[in-house]
Amino acid sequence: MPGKPQELIYKLLREKVVLKQEVFERTRTVFVQLKEILQTLFVEMGKEIKNIDKEILLEFKDKGDFEMEFTLADDTLVFMMHTNVFTFDHDHEIWKSSYVQEDPNRSFCGKIYIYNFLSDSFKYNRTNDIGLLIARLFVNKDGHFFVEGKRQLGFLYNDFSSAVLDTENLRKVVESAILYSLDFDPYIPPYEQIVQISVQEVMESTIQSKIATGKRLGFKFSSDANPLGMP
């Protein structure tokens, strides 16, 4: 007969490990749905964009099971699914929800990141350029979700107890991310940040690829702070 330590191990395997596998599979299903939505938007928007300006860049790239890119004009959105499952520290707002208090296992979530880069960063291989995390999408075992993010992304999608991540809601999140990115213009970085460059940097590559570029490089994002405390 197994002793007490082994019994505890098996108990944790039954409870925590199986739970995390369930959450992972749920999140992976959502990521597949997300991929299908982006492919659909690529087709839909392609028809309309031709009527606006044929030179506007529109691309969708499937980068594998856990990453994809959607490019529209000057912006590239990178979607990445984390392969681990997480819960939250006890100071997080999620623990104030009766939905989580009734079943703490509901706090375990898979995580999908949405980053915003300048399209030229990829086009010209500017490896020092900076992307901005504009949203984190959390999904639990029940398919409930909430979003920590910038502006409308952090305000519209934070009803964890009742919000179920179906195709309609997922599309709304994606369209909100695209709208935010298009409306979020790059600022010129502070002069002091780019005042020096070495001879070696010029010789190794072009100056453009060595000077880091981002939409708000060198600036704090206090004006875009969100109520859920996303870093």
Strands (E), 65-131: 67-72, 75-81, 109-118
What's the first-to-final CA gap in the chain, in angstroms?
A: 49
Strands (E), the chain: 58-62, 67-72, 75-81, 109-118, 132-140, 145-149
Instruction: Reply yes or no on whether the pLDDT at 219 is more than 50.
Output: no
Cα 77 to Cα 177: distance, rounded to the nearest angstrom: 8
Each residue of 124-134: pLDDT tens digit?
888 878 888 99
Place of tokens 């940097």: 201
Cα 28 to Cα 16: distance, rounded to the nearest angstrom: 18
Cα 183 to Cα 4: distance, rounded to the nearest angstrom: 58
Instruction: Reply yes or no on whether the pLDDT at 102 is more than 50.
Output: yes
Contacts of 207 (CB under 8 A, 6+ apart): 197, 201
Average pLDDT value for the chain: 83
Report residue 201's pLDDT band, with 50, 70 and 90 as the boundaries: low
Higher pLDDT, 57 or 218: 57
Instruction: Reply yes or no on whether the pLDDT at 8 is more than 90.
Output: no
Report residue 93's pLDDT band, with 50, 70 and 90 as the boundaries: confident
pTM: 0.80
| 102 contacts 148 by C-beta, under 8 angstroms | no
Each residue of 104-120: pLDDT tens digit?
999 999 999 999 999 99
Cα 45 to Cα 57: distance, rounded to the nearest angstrom: 11
% pLDDT > 70, the chain:
77
Calculate the alpha carbon distances from 181 to 52, 157, 175 in Å.
Answer: 19, 17, 10
